[in-house]
Structure 1
Amino acid sequence: MATHDNPPIMVSKIGIIGAGVSGITVAKYLSNYNPIVFEATDSIGGVWRHCSYRCTKLQSQTWNYEFSDFPWPERESSDYPSHAEILEYLHLYAVHFNLFKYVKFNTKVVEIMFVGDKDGFDFGRLPGDHGNPLPGRPVWELSVQSNESDVIQRYHFEFVVVCTGKYGDIPLMPTYPRNKGPEVFNGKVLHTIDYCKLDKEATSDLVKGKKTVVVGYKKSAIDLAIECAQANQGPEGQPCTMIIRSLHWTLPHYRMWGVPFFMFYATRSAQFLHPTPNQGLLKSLLCLLLSPMRRGISKFIESYLLWKLPLEKYGLKPDHPFQEDFASCQIAITPENFFNEADKGKIVFKRASKWWFWNGGIEFDDNTKMDADVVLLATGYDGKKKLKTLLPEPFSSLLEYPSGIMALYR
């Protein structure tokens, strides 16, 4: 049981939680203040280190995913970098700017407390003028626990930057009818967060020659299906079945009919086409006037995707427009050999809105059953719970809209 034996200490004005991409970037730009970065694991990299598979790659081109003051080193391949290459790039960045000296590894922040002056602070809204971010007195108290000890050390800071992200740590698990959950299944059930902890040999042994089911159809699920198919090549290999509840548009690459994708969505002028949160009256009117162009661009991209990918052949054409998936960040890059494996029968698709377990596999709401040995849940992470568990009230409530949406930019 954790104990609070030590009085609070203040060794820096600024505390940073997390040493992923955001955490080390913040540490670099605030290095003049000698910040402390608390990292719960033994390495930097965040989700690239702890939530990636063997085949996970960057979905953006390197020029669109690099630090402005530290370009990517020369690479032999022009392909999207693997997660291992990204980790190496982040390591070089941290070494170049001498950032490791700020990081306390294997230290997990278990609680954040507001210890500043509550008088005059309106907790019901986000103030337009935040005043001096370094008031000269403690405002936040972090309770930090080392992986090697049960003792909790408290730290005081004037300013805290939360760089934990929304993904990882807390899996988003499906719900099942009574007595129809994983406990009745005779095979193995893993969420992607547990699959990521396995090495190459263990993942191959898990799915090779096994009837594997992958639940989901986003980037994690697609990568998992590819790994399962690669492990089951040959006549003895078993197909991998993807259970798909909601369809999303996928891209083979970032060039549509010869036009670079960024021309549609990643230029300054393109921003006038798409509505943004809390936009003014003039922007709203402009978006309304340009809505035919916005729909035309979406149709243009959809026509290319339906020509390039066998979406209709496999019943994977979404009913909603492409722009809807783009606006909600639901776009995934399809690996080059994904549909090749489907053509060979190594990846099979099953549409289902509801499903549950039986002792031999998966049962669907149409009363059909599917045999399975392994079920992999690529159902995502509960980012809302992760952030709200860490942040104290009333600050955690400020992150969430009344509709329940938690916007990253807040």
Structure 2
Amino acid sequence: MQEQRYDFVILTVGKYSGLPNIPVFPPGKGPESFKRNVIHSMDCAKMETGFMKAKNPVVVGLGKTAIDIAMACSAANGIENPCTVLYRTVHWAIPGDLPVPLGYLLLNRFSHLIVHKPEEGFLLKVLATILSPLRWAISKYVERAIIKAVNLRKYDMVPKHGFFQEANSCSAASLPQGFYDRVDEGSIKLVKSQNFNFCEDGIFIEGKGESIKTELVILCTGFRGADKVRDMFMSPFFKKCITASDNDSLCQLYREMIHPRIPQLAVVGMAESVSNLQTAEMMSRWLAELLDGNIKIPSIKDMEKNIAEWDKHLKPSPSYGKRFCVGTYNIWFNDKLCQDMGWNPKRKKSALAELFEPYGPLDYAQPQ
């Protein structure tokens, strides 16, 4: 092993590759007892064309990746060998043809006025409190529009949590066109279960006392991005610094990049937002300014205070507490990066546009 010294290290290892998150099963009830194929979603791209042509494939999960793979499986097998989607929790999935202007409801500055934000002043805090009923009304409006657009009640697929909670966690998926048409025709079957085990010729559904025979199980169960970052450190001190108190996720970082106790290290690409690529690009620009000496990071105490403030808002629900999501505060987060870099955070041409026009990646194409 060779040791090299650097003034600054930037980790851009990503969170959607490398270490798959494989569920833990009781002894003798895991993939080892299954006599057919078990793969993780990350392996799908490596497989040969036609590998999905299996008898009754089972997709575990209901996120964006799971939905896309289920669509591919149903197209390959049809109703003769339907694809079973096994899931625990129903999520809000947004149809592409939803007749709702989501950009004007969720992606402009006005939408930021109705939520409490980290580092907000007294007036913004009061305004967010006064406008909180509007936030609830917008959430209900979007929920009802989605339910009506794809008739979710028919399939018993109405989430128990609100749409804004989904948005806060960056876990809302886009729904492929024709997904529920595949459910109607029988090429996709939806099965809800809190637990399942493997058996010799398929999977056994806990609580229902029934099994599903299959030749292929695809685990769309996410990745262990925190472990991937943590395992890059040999020092126990650094491992402990970078790990959150739950020992299962990364700790919160200053500007989602810098650890106060390891200021010569930056992590880019672990935070989620409305546009992960755009957020990563803004972080990269911020880091370039930092390395050029144009940004001075605060003291350890001030950074830890700032992190605690953001952590309080980025983890609104214990059930979604392990996701670093700035989605609800996307414009606000970019404002802070712009202010640090000396850019004008207001990117529109008029006050009215600034308040009501949706923000997108092109608004940050050039410094102002």
Pair 1:380-2:222 in alignment = yes
| 2:85 equivalent among 215, 227, 242 | 242
- Residue pair 2:54, 2:215 contacting (<8 A) in 1 also: no
User: Is 1:290 paired with 2:135?
Assistant: no
Residues 1:217 and 2:66 aligned together? no
Q: TM-score normalised to the size of structure 1?
A: 0.57
- For the residues of structure 1 that align with 2:244 and 2:123, how far apart are their CA atoms? 24
3-state SS in 2 of match to 1:390: coil
Cα separation, 1, equivalents of 2:243 and 2:105? 30
2:231 match: secondary structure: helix
Mapped partners of 1:226, 1:183: distance in 2: 27
Matched residue SS, 1:274: coil
Looking at structure 2, the residues matched to 282 and 219 of structure 1 have their Cα atoms a distance apart, in angstroms, of: 38
Amino acid at match of 2:90: L
Q: Deviations over 1:265-292 (max 9, x none)?
A: 2112322223345655554443332221
Task: State the match for 2:19 in structure 1.
Answer: 170
2:178 maps to 1:337: yes
Per the alignment, residue 182 of structure 1 pairs with 31
CA 1:397–1:309: 2 relative to 1, 3 Å: farther
SS at match of 1:156: coil
Matched, 1:312 2:153: yes
Aligned partners of 2:118, 2:228: CA distance in 1, in Å? 23
1:332-381 CA-partner distances (Å, limit 9, x unpaired):
11111211211110000000001111112111222221111111000000
Match for 2:245: what amino acid?
A: P
Residue 342 and residue 354 in structure 1: after superposition, are their counterparts in 2 closer, same or farther (change >3 A)? same
Q: Which runs of 5+ in 1 are unaligned?
A: 5-152
Q: Is the 8 A contact 2:14 2:225 kept in 1?
A: yes
> What's the % identity of the aligned pairs?
31
Bigger Rg, structure 1 or 2: 1
**Residues 56 and 82 in structure 2, CA contact (< 8 A), matched pair in contact too:** yes
1:374 maps to a residue whose letter is L
- 1:143-175 deviation digits (Å, cap 9, x = unpaired): xxxxxxxxxx54332122111122210000111
Q: 1:207 to 1:324 in 2, by over 3 A?
A: same
**Which residue of 2 is the match for residue 231 of structure 1?**
76
Tell which has more relative contact order, 1 or 2 (C-alpha 8 A, sep 6+). 2
Does 2:218 align with 1:369?
no
Q: For 1:222, give the aligned amino acid.
A: I
Paired residues of 1:256 and 1:301 also in contact (CA < 8 A): no
Q: Give 1:403 deviation, angstroms.
A: 5.2
Which letter maps to 2:224? Answer: D
SS across alignment from 1:242: strand
The 1-side partners of 2:93 and 2:151 are apart by: 11
Report the alpha carbon displacement of residue 388 of structure 1 after superposing the two structures with TM.
1.3
Question: What residue ranges of structure 2 are gaps of 5+ in the alignment?
Answer: 258-368
Q: Distance in 1 between matches of 2:11 and 2:52?
A: 37
In 2, the alpha carbon distance for the partners of 1:400 and 1:267 equals 34
Q: 1:399 to 1:274 in 2, by over 3 A?
A: farther
Aligned-partner residue type, residue 199 of structure 2:
W
SS of 2:67 mapped into structure 1? helix
Aligned length: 251
Answer 1 or 2: which has greater strand percent: 1
Distance 1:260 1:380, change over 3 A: same
1:354 equivalent among 189, 195, 198: 195
